[in-house]
Chains A and B, each alone.
Chain A
Amino acid sequence: MTLTQERHVLVVFPHPDDEAFGVSGTISMYIKQGTPVTYACLTLGEMGRNLGNPPFATRESLPHIRKDELIASAQAMGLTDLRMMGLRDKTVEFEDDEKMVQMMTKLIEETNPSLIITFYPNYAVHPDHEATARAVVRAVRRMDENLRPKLYAVAFANNTKDDLGEPDVVHDIQEVRDQKMGAMRAHISQTAWMLAEMDKRLAEGEPEAENWFTYERFYNYRWHEDFEETF
């Protein structure tokens, strides 16, 4: 599969590892096709709860570990423009909303993307995901309609399929299996238990596990059903 040609792809997520399971294949595909990709990661996942038992990290040492993992994930995908935005995990929704929009506007102005990938507002579960999604949508909404980049959004709330139906963007990512595996393994401090489960399922030939290395799915943001009227 060849993905639709883009001028520049901007990926915005709040936590290191948000890209791993759902988007790292797509990022790797674009990079392989020669499309420049920027990944802006808002926090260093300071509040992650996986510290091991016996613990391999403390609350204070975790950000250093996760920063290294994020860099390793970027390397696995071949991504060179990784931006760490310096916010703190679990506090994104408490930042000034206008400041958040400005942060996104600045990223858009600097990278001039034809496609932005982030979460889908109201279907992204974690408060940081929701705050990130709102800020991105608001920044794009302010742009002239003819100049707006496309917006692909990741949605995984329990009511997603009831409300939004099936994802309308499906990428076959089989050719970048190794890169995706590399990105998922890079975040080992947070993904160890999931990876152990995945390896078991892959060995048993379960189609659901294989699915992670076959397709990635997104929703085009529905401007006609915008999550708010104005900001």
Chain B
Amino acid sequence: MEVVNVEKLQGLLNSFANKDIYLHLETTNGAYASHFDETVFNAGAFIRNIVIQYELGKVAGESPHRVGLKLPHGWVYAQGITHFELDEHGRLLMAGHDQTGKLAVALHISEMPFTY
């Protein structure tokens, strides 16, 4: 993965617009967050291999960036995006890594289903 280049990422988001795409979206602070610090409220969400179509995709702000997808009847967004790549299977992978390199958020877009 490489650090987000807004222009490059915006071009990639445009290339998936108005197509059926498989979505992976997750946010996490880790299963051990409240084990290591009992004051932490552990919350996260995960969704994978949901088919959507978006009419507009936009990367916003300075790093860590926000990425939003406008759907005909709704929205998808992620905040904290720091890195991205178009992988060898043509999937657009976006991720937010915290200061220690741990993944905090992931937003993936693919024309083919992701593995299980």
Contact = CB atoms under 8 A, between A and B. Distances in A.
Interface residues on A, range: 20 to 34
Given A55-B101, A58-B87, A60-B114, A125 B93 contact: no
Nearest to B82: A53
B1 A54 contact: yes
Given A58-B85, A90-B31, A127-B31, A50 B1 contact: no
Contacts of B32: 125-126
Interface in A31-63: 47, 49-55, 58-61, 63
Contact of B28 (A49, A61, A63, A126): A49
A53 B35 contact: no
Contact of B99 (A49, A53, A90, A127): A53
A31 to B, nearest CB: 29
8 contacts: A49-B30, A49-B102, A49-B104, A51-B95, A54-B2, A55-B101, A58-B95, A59-B93
A88 interface: yes
A199 to B, nearest CB: 18
Given A55-B83, A55-B95, A58-B95, A50 B38 contact: no
B97 interface: yes
B46 interface: yes
